[in-house]
Amino acid sequence: MRILIFLFSILFCFEITAQPIQTFIRSYADSSNWSAVGNNAIELNGDFITASRGQGLTANSNYTMLTKIDQEGELINRLFTHRLYENYCFGGIGVETTNNNDVYTFVGQRSMNNTLNVNIIITKYTTDFDTIWNLTSANSTWYDLPLHFKIIQNLIYVVGMSPIEDSNPTENSGIILVADTSGNQINFNNFNIDSVSHGFYSIAKGETNSIFLGGGRNDSLYYGLVVKVDLLGNLIWHRWYPELWGASINELLENSFLLTSWTPDGIGSILTKIDSNGDIIWQQTYLNGTGLTLYKSIQTSDFGIVSVGLTDVTLQNGNDAYIQKVDFEGNLLWQKSFNGIGSGVDFFSNVIETSDGGLLINGSTNEGFSGGQNLWLVKLDSMGCLEPDCWVGVEQADANTLGVAVYPNPATDWLYLKYDNTHKITLEIFNLSGQKVLQHQHMAPKEGIEISHLPAGLYLLRFVDELGNVATEKLVVE
């Protein structure tokens, strides 16, 4: 008994309480003549490292940069990874890491003296940004444009596009470069899928011994493209997806994948969940204002999907950066837009889930400088909040739209609903992490539902009738 009491006292004294997630919104501008576009970030040893690219450092020269910040967004270190005055950077830029805590980047580098040639360069750094090795692709004899890279099973994959023929640089085919983490090139494949101009924009880890590439056509028609290859980059199969304006792919749970794209008319964006054979599981279109563009998506630890991009919902100072979250079936949980202080385009380009349960978002903001955009990093909590305890709702529909009355609110053990609608009403309850914790279909005009099992806190009620009409309301459980 004394041992049990002693153990209980230890647990009581060292009871762990949830700490608030650190949030911030910061831009990183060193000169009004620079223009920086953030690409992606990684979390490493308690800090964040991000990759960006821009122009304006010198005449006719682009640059790429690594930036390290701490958990509060304070600058620790910066490095120009490629800023040669005889060359300038072209294509994408990205940062990755492996378990041994090294840092990897890629870039396309074009010579000013030979603008028809682009070399793919992969560089390995220490966490202090000291160079370990450089690899320049042996196959870059013409115009290989890299757009994305990823490290899978200690192999480095770079994908992009390259002209099918030297004489016709507007007709492209997808390319993939495979290297190891020691700086050795293993393979380089140039695809000519269906003799159609196309390129690859993203990479996802597949089942054992395979990876998936996302891309699209590079002509006047709109098709998303998914390609499955083996670990050496050799083609296994490919699938086209009509009416998708390209496709960024990432892996989900249960050996499924998500395609992030937008509609050809530019009005909305599309999320498409597919299985490992490329068959569509579900597909949802999302609108916000008169134009919504989603660039990247991730699956979070609560099985939800967070996507980032830009929207013109307010146009107060140009386009706004945009973030949304949906559940594992694609139903919208919340959405929010952010605007910088300038009058230009602000956008989010990528997002990661951080170790504290928050979200770190890469982007660019136009702060009114003559040089254009600056690197923009935004750290939010799991509900997209900058301020603690804020609520970001699904564009808050009037709770009376469906004529539903909810009482009491706050509630404890039971929640009662009353409505006059003749249609069946489905109630979904989501917690602050975006998880659906309860679903119930109501058949009668008056009905009660037990909620005593729900922990105290704030919840979102989502009502859907048989016609697809939706209403939302907040609920406090005590």
Q: What angle do CA 406, 412, 415 make, to 5 degrees?
A: 30
SS (H, E, C) the chain: CHHHHHHHHHHHHCCCCCCCCCCEEEEECCCCCCEEEEEEEEEECCEEEEEEEEEEEECCEEEEEEEEECCCCCEEEEEEEECCCCEEEEEEEEEEECCCCCEEEEEEEEECCEEEEEEEEEEEECCCCCEEEEEECCCCCCECEEEEEEEECCEEEEEEEEEEECCEEEEEEEEEEEEECCCCEEEEEECCHHHCCEEEEEEEECCCCEEEEEEEECCCCCEEEEEEEECCCCEEEEEEEECCCCCEEEECCCCCEEEEEECCCCCEEEEEEECCCCCEEEEEEEECCCCEEEEEEEECCCCCEEEEEEECCCCCCCCEEEEEEECCCCCEEEEEEECCCCCCCCEEEEEEECCCCCEEEEEEEECCCCCCEEEEEEEECCCCCCCCCCCCCCCCCCCCCCCEEEECCCECCEEEEEECCCCCEEEEEECCCCCEEEEEEECCCEEEEECCCCCCEEEEEEEEECCCCEEEEEEEEC
Give the residue with greater pLDDT, 193 vs 264.
193
Contact at 8 Å (CB) between 417 and 405?
yes
Residue 419: both structure tokens together: 């409505």
Which of 308-317, 342-351, 403-412, 451-460 has the weakest average pLDDT?
Answer: 308-317
pLDDT digits (tens, 9 = 90+) for 124-145: 999 999 999 999 887 655 667 7
- pLDDT winner (highest mean) among 137-146, 314-323, 435-444, 468-477: 468-477
The candidate with the shortest Cα–Cα distance to 182, out of 100, 110, 81, 83, is 100
Confidence of residue 11 (pLDDT cuts 50, 70, 90): very low
Q: What is the mean pLDDT of the chain?
A: 81
Kindly state the average pLDDT of the residues 209-227. Answer: 92
Confidence of residue 206 (pLDDT cuts 50, 70, 90): very high
Domain with CATH 2.60.40.3080 in the chain: 404-477
Q: pLDDT above 90 covers what percent of the chain?
A: 39
Q: Which residue has the tokens 């940069």?
A: 65
Which of 111-125, 321-335, 431-445, 452-466 has the weakest average pLDDT?
Answer: 431-445
Give the residue with greater pLDDT, 437 vs 294.
294
pLDDT digits (tens, 9 = 90+) for 395-434: 333 345 677 888 888 888 878 777 766 667 788 888 876 6
Note the pLDDT of residue 260.
97
Q: What is the CATH number of domain 24-380?
A: 2.120.10.10
Rg (CA), the chain: 24
Residue 88: both structure tokens together: 């300038």
Confidence of residue 365 (pLDDT cuts 50, 70, 90): confident
Confidence of residue 30 (pLDDT cuts 50, 70, 90): low
Phi, psi of 195 (to 5 degrees): 55, 35
Note the pLDDT of residue 453.
84
Domain with CATH 2.120.10.10 in the chain: 24-380
Distance CA(75)–CA(93), nearest Å, equals 20
Residue 190: both structure tokens together: 């140039």
Fold of 404-477: Immunoglobulin-like (2.60.40)
**pTM exceeds 0.85, yes or no:** no
Phi, psi of 4 (to 5 degrees): -65, -45
pLDDT digits (tens, 9 = 90+) for 163-193: 876 556 668 899 999 999 999 999 999 998 9
Residue 341: both structure tokens together: 């202080």
Which of 103-117, 152-166, 267-281, 344-358 has the weakest average pLDDT?
Answer: 103-117
| Amino acid occupying residue 386 | L
Q: What angle do CA 32, 35, 38 make, to 5 degrees?
A: 130
